[in-house]
Each structure stands twice: as C-alpha cells, then as structure tokens.
Amino acid sequence: MRGANIPRLGYGTYDVRGETGAESVATAIDVGYRHVDTARMYENEDVVGEGIRRSGIDRDDLFVATKFGHFTEPEPTPEYVRAAVAESREALGVDAIDLLYVHWPTDDYDPEVVFPVMNDLRDEGAIRHLGVSNFTVDHLRDALAVSDAPILANQVEMHPLLQQEELLDFLRDRDLTLVAYSPLAQGNVFDVPVLREIAAKHGVSEARVSLAWLLSKENVVPIPKATSEEHVRDNYAALDLELDDEDVARIESIDRTMRLESPDFMW
C-alpha cells in the first residue's frame, strides 16, 4: 500500500484493547481489511501492532494510519511531534506510518509548527502521507496553506445522522478523502426507520446499509469498529452491497442530526 489511495473500507480500533483487541485486528485482516486505523490517544497502538504481527500479512499489503495530538503537552513543539511519531512507529512495529493525522485542532495546535516537521518526517520516510482529523473547513484552509506536502484526508464523524454535506463538498473540490469514523453512529443507525426498511428490502443489517451509503460516495472511506468476528464480517460485506438511487435518496432525506463527538475545545 505505497500509493496515495486509501483502501475503501478501514478497520477502526477505538477502545480495542488487550488480547481480545489483538485477535480482533488479526481477524479483520484475515477477513480482508487492508486499512487499520488507530491513534496515540486510544493508548492501544501496541495492541494494534500485535494484531498486525499475528496476521502475518506482508507489510506492503497493509495501510496503517494513526494520529497524534497535543492533549497533554504545554506547547506543540517539533520535538514532541518527532517523539510521538517515533513512539507510534515502535508500538505499531512499522518502519513508516502510511497516514499520520493531526488528531484535533486544539488551542495548543499551531499549523505553522506542526506541518513543517510533518513535511520533514515525510521526506525522511518516517511517514508516507499527511492527514488531519476533526478539522473544520476553516482549519483545513489554514493547514492547506501551510503544508508543502499534500494533505490526503480529513477524518471526521460521518454517518446517516450526520451527513457532513458542506465539508464533503469542500474536500471533494480539492481531491481530499473524508475518512468517516463512527460510521454506524455508535449503534444509533439500528433505530432509524428508513435504514430498517432499506435493510429489510436487501435482506441485510442496518449497519451494512449505512456503510454501503458511505461507500457510494467516491471520496468517503468508512472505518467501522467491531470486535466480534460476526460484526467484522458483516461490516466488510458492505463492499458488496449496491444501493439503488431510491435507497440513497431516502437516506439523504433523513431529517435528523446527531453529532456524537463534540468536545468543548472544538465546537
């Protein structure tokens, strides 16, 4: 996975921990996932790394993404960024991180400090692609103006109850990918009548319908989290579900908005 294309469906690992977590990662890779996403804030990069090792997959066949953020540091120094990347590479057991995100644009985040060192790390081969996470359009404009290297993706919450139309248009116009976390709205998609009806029509789960809707958008990559093999496989099967135009229109007409991640420092 050396190119700039992110595999269409990723495996999210928020709160994936311990022996069960490592087995879940290995199972997901065995099922067919080739994109694994984690973050320093999740405190599980070592678990993800163990799952990758257990899978026995060729490193060239896997796209590994992680994130760093200034949640505890007094200021976002270049030294902090370098140390964070070194620690993530060691924990994940990789020579290079395929996609490194700035996790949240907190008050301490300074694009003029962060992106030059990320550019240097890319030139040195420690990371392959740059990304941002939870960035608004304004945050993106600032980042794009500062970074010499391309920004590949913005990872944000997106699902049928938070459709991100404005942000999606902005990213599409600039050939950036939206990586969708919480693509099942943390289970809330199972309680949406429209999704239930479409799921019954196709004989599949509401989860699979929600993921297929996201996958119908050419620049959106969902990263569902699941720990049981049944759910890991069900989510992966969304790649084979093709919604018709009526299904898509019904989902996009859902008159309900639910944002699940809304920290005080961000919104």
Q: How far apart are CA 182 and CA 227, in angstroms?
A: 14
- The answer to whether 149 and 100 have CB atoms below 8 angstroms apart is no
H helices of the chain, where? 18-31, 45-55, 78-92, 111-124, 137-146, 165-173, 193-202, 206-215, 229-236, 245-252
DSSP state at residue 109? -
| 243 DSSP β-pair partners | none
Residue 167 phi, psi dihedral angles, 5° rounding: -65, -40
Q: Which amino acid is it at 91? A: A
Find the catalytic residue in 11, 14, 33, 42: 42
Nearest to 32 by CA among 229, 172, 245: 229
| Per-position b or e across 169-202, b if 16+ CB within 10 A of its CB | ebbeeeebbbbbbbbbbeebbeebebbeebbeee
- The answer to whether 48 and 16 have CB atoms below 8 angstroms apart is yes
In the numeric block, which tokens belong to residue 247? 């299904």
Q: How far apart are CA 171 and CA 177, in angstroms?
A: 7
Nearest to 35 by CA among 1, 68, 75: 1
Is 42 annotated as catalytic? yes
Provide the annotated active-site residues. 42
